Structure 1
Amino acid sequence: MKSKSKLAKKRRRFVILMLLPSIIFPLIFTYYPMVRGSMMAFQNYNLMNLKNVQWIGLDNFKNLLKPSIANSFPLTVMNTVKWVVISLFFQFTIGFAMALLLKKKFKGSNIYQGLIFFPWAVSGFIIGIMWRWMYNGTSGVFNDILVNKLHILSQPVGWLADKHIALYACIIANIWYGIPYFTIMITAALRGVSEDLYGAASVDGANALQKFIHITVPSIKSVLLLTVLLRVIWIFNFPDLIYSLTQGGPAGSSNIITSYMMQLVQSLDYGMASAVGVLCILFLVVFAGIYLAVTKYTEEN
């Protein structure tokens, strides 16, 4: 009996020892920075003046609402809404259409699939560099095609230098980047729908649109709801592309909340940056809660 109890103790110790890294590392590298960063949001925490770190309450949040010459937080919020809504709409619709094409195998489908999934394997910064070259005002691909080849434009356009179109240029690049996500997820879901359902619907005289509305969409509804929620969160938290394309310019016209936060970090104003980060977390938590309640995802799942 004693030998069995000693063996059991050794096993428990071994299990605890193996679990320690999975507990300690998240505490050190995830939860502690989260708590510490949340505290900074209520402090005057600037690395250029560490001797004057003070608890200032909600002053950082109040300062965000004060428009400045270079940037305006309300404008940044509106840019974020455009960035998320427009990107999500086109990523979802185009990705869904491509998934329908990939549902059944056809000649060359593997090549087609690889071409579609390629952007998802590339980092955001590399994609930003690539699209920045294509958007170049003098030697970019788009200007060359539209001005020299098709003669649609009379002169080159500064896609990333014009404050009226810089954000939309970034959105186009983001749409291209995000389409594979929906294509991958929806294709996997579509291949799980039983063909017997479509066969029975054909016997009843249903056309392609009726099959899509009454069989395809209901069968993959839970997947669609979850992928949309995750993609909203990822697009919201994806400043890489904007930062590598425009760095939020010109004059803050293409900034979203997270790219604005990166600028605050670079300016060493950790207090303001943390305040923006806290607002981002609160917004996403509230949005996720409302989204799950409205779509009744848990019941559907």
Structure 2
Amino acid sequence: MKGLNRKRFNIWPYLLVTPALLIVIFVVFLPVINAIIMSFKSYDLRRPFDIGFIGLRNYKEVLSDPLFWDALNNTLIWVVGGVGLQFFFGFILALLLHQKFRGRGVVRAVSLIPWATPGVLIGLMWKWIYDGNYGVLNDILLKLNIIDEAIPFLSQTSSAFPSVIVTIIWQGIPFFAIMLLAGLQGISQEMYEAADIDGASSAQKLFRITIPSLKNVILTTLLLRIIWVSNSVDIIFNMTGGGPSYSTQTLSVYIFNKANVLNLGYASAMAIILMALLAFVAIPYIKKSFKEG
């Protein structure tokens, strides 16, 4: 009887998960371990014979580097401003796309274009839009007599960073719109009908039904987008390269620039610091997931 009651071990679930697990190990886990090891080494490929263990020297140099702190400050502005406005406008777009109107399916499909466009192409496209000589934005502003002469948006420190933030906002709005729209479609209409019977206003339904019902979707999408935007390199690199005068250099761009000049140990130390900061941001979500599990 014991043998009959004992559950049979099924190896198939483990075999099906194995390919994905191997990809994660070789594409994510091993490179992270390698980056951690390199962060404790003098790993400058311009001096290949000086590669060796140096302990925490890279981390000490990073923490005493004023460009690192400037890049970290830019990253904070880049993430808070970019992701915050992406969410705000994405939520408005989701509410609009949730309404019934003719051509709604086409509008939903078209709204995905910024999100589906590669970051490199977005950077090049918006670089042309902002160009001080032949950019379309300057052309429109001049024809409307809003400005008297062309503005080099990406060539001056006062306007370069706001310009790239506008670009990342434009790219990320569809992500929040589609994710929140999916959440909106999962909310029971009976709650809204009951609220209408009780005489609730649109604002009351928004803050007492819609937003609380979307709490998990909002938390997940914000966390994912914070991580993606923090690691984003392609848009800034193709638009400004981190300039002018490092005014648009975020931490991920600074890491990329350091790795580009083959100072891999220093770049790895900054990458590990960025990873630790993002892990700290993700802790509330991880705790919440474990509690629900």
Whether TM-score is above 0.5 comes out as: yes
Residue 254 of structure 1 aligns to a residue in which SS?
coil
- How many angstroms does 1:67 deviate by? 4.3
Distance in 1 of aligned mates of 2:77 and 2:85: 12
Q: Per the alignment, do residues 22 and 88 of structure 1 end up closer, same or farther by CA in structure 2, a change over 3 Å counting?
A: closer
Distance in 2 of aligned mates of 1:88 and 1:292: 20
Aligned pair 1:107/2:102, yes or no? yes
The CA deviation string for residues 2-51 of structure 1, in whole angstroms up to 9 with x for no partner, is xxxxxx9xx96x98777654444433332222111111111110111111
The code of the aligned residue for 2:282 comes to: A
**Which residue of 2 is the match for residue 3 of structure 1?**
none
**Which residue of 2 is the match for residue 257 of structure 1?**
251
Which of 33, 36, 55 lines up with 1:35 in the alignment? 33
The CA deviation string for residues 268-297 of structure 1, in whole angstroms up to 9 with x for no partner, is 00001100110011001111114666xx56
Distance in 2 of aligned mates of 1:26 and 1:108: 41
**Which residue of 1 is the match for residue 227 of structure 2?**
233
Contact 2:236 2:242 in 1 (8 A): yes
Within 5 Å, give how 1:271-290 maps onto structure 2. Answer: 271-290=265-284
Give TM-score, length-normalised by structure 2.
0.91
Contact 2:89 2:173 in 1 (8 A): yes
Within 5 Å, give how 1:74-93 maps onto structure 2. Answer: 74-93=69-88
Which of 85, 93, 96 lines up with 2:91 in the alignment? 96
Contact 1:120 1:181 in 2 (8 A): yes
Unmatched tracts of structure 1, length 5 or more: 1-7
**Which residue of 2 is the match for residue 26 of structure 1?**
24
Which of 114, 132, 139 lines up with 1:144 in the alignment? 139
Which of 163, 168, 173 lines up with 1:174 in the alignment? 168
**Which residue of 1 is the match for residue 209 of structure 2?**
215
Distance in 2 of aligned mates of 1:27 and 1:288: 21
- How many angstroms does 1:104 deviate by? 2.6
Please identify, of 206-215 and 283-292, the stretch whose mean Cα deviation from structure 2 is larger.
283-292
Residue 268 of structure 1 aligns to a residue in which SS?
coil
Aligned length: 286
Which of 208, 230, 243 lines up with 2:237 in the alignment? 243
Q: Per the alignment, do residues 28 and 297 of structure 1 end up closer, same or farther by CA in structure 2, a change over 3 Å counting?
A: closer
Give TM-score, length-normalised by structure 1.
0.88
Identity, in percent, stands at 37
Residue 132 of structure 2 aligns to a residue in which SS?
coil
The CA deviation string for residues 158-192 of structure 1, in whole angstroms up to 9 with x for no partner, is 11111222111100000000000000000010011
Distance in 1 of aligned mates of 2:204 and 2:289: 24
Distance in 1 of aligned mates of 2:156 and 2:62: 25
Unmatched tracts of structure 2, length 5 or more: 1-7
Which of 126, 135, 138 lines up with 2:130 in the alignment? 135
Q: CA RMSD in A?
A: 2.3
Distance in 2 of aligned mates of 1:155 and 1:104: 42
Q: Per the alignment, do residues 210 and 19 of structure 1 end up closer, same or farther by CA in structure 2, a change over 3 Å counting?
A: closer
Q: Per the alignment, do residues 264 and 108 of structure 1 end up closer, same or farther by CA in structure 2, a change over 3 Å counting?
A: same
The CA deviation string for residues 241-267 of structure 1, in whole angstroms up to 9 with x for no partner, is 101111101121100000111101110
